[in-house]
Amino acid sequence: MKTKIVYSEKCLGYGTWHIEGPQRVKTAQEILKAKGYEFVLPTPATEDDLLNVHDPEYIWKVKKGLVEDTDTPAYDKIYEYASLSAGGAILASKINGFSLMRPPGHHVGRNGSALGVYTRGFCYFNNIAIAVKELGKKTLILDIDGHHGNGTQEIFQGDEKIMYVSVHQSPNFPGTGAFTEENCINFALPPDCGGKRYLETLDEALAMVDIKKFEVVAVSCGFDTHLGDLASLGLVDADYLQIGKRIGCFKRDTFFVLEGGYVGEKVGLDIDNLLKGYEENK
């Protein structure tokens, strides 16, 4: 059975001029619809959901539009958009689905920017962290975005119920994730290293995981690793199929949350390939 896609067209309502604009998600949604995926509507995360991860003062600042940096504007009604995206991740976690919502989230820590990084990299609330906290289960978080999830690491570092694994490009934003720390396993790769090296590195990282300790796998899905995208590791369509197969082999409840990926057509095809591989082996 195909993985259900969590999506609301409301997430297209802001940032038309930004690289993290609505077109990347709109085009991906159209491709997935044509391929026969079922879509389900999310509802916004509650403030209590957000408080499981973020400090009250930071949430208040997002509400009031008092958060803005060089990458992450204070759009009108951004609290509503960001809360709905977080709600998409929560719903995906409950149905083992894929949240195709924006804004993304893995660069946001408890108070906004994380691990000493000034900007929040297009993110407002940490969607995957909010969903994981809501579940309250022992969870492996696998971050396949081309950028290190500094916010997710900050939130969960030292948490005995969580393991965070990231394979990402370096040098690149946010400049964190150079080495493994406690329960946060980090592998940094050079730009355009190619699928063979990427998959070998992913296998090395996953070999460090004792999956028997975890009930859930949560995947921060960034597709900016695709050849020519913002954090290219030289991956092509077939590589995402192979990544999906590895995730399916865990045989655990699994959900997926969109992070980066800025060429909508590639994002849609990469999601399809990732989910095909996952569904083949789950």
- Max CA-CA distance within the chain? 46
- Across 144-159, b (16+ Cβ under 10 Å) vs e yields bbbbbbbbbbbbbeeb
Locate the DSSP E strands across the chain.
Answer: 5-6, 39-40, 98-99, 139-143, 162-169, 184-189, 216-221, 253-258
Q: 35, exposed or middle or buried, with CB in 10 Å at 0-12, 13-18, 19+? A: middle
The type of residue at 129 is: A
Catalytic residue list: 107
In this structure, the strands spanning 39-40 and 5-6 are parallel
Cβ count within 10 A of residue 188: 17
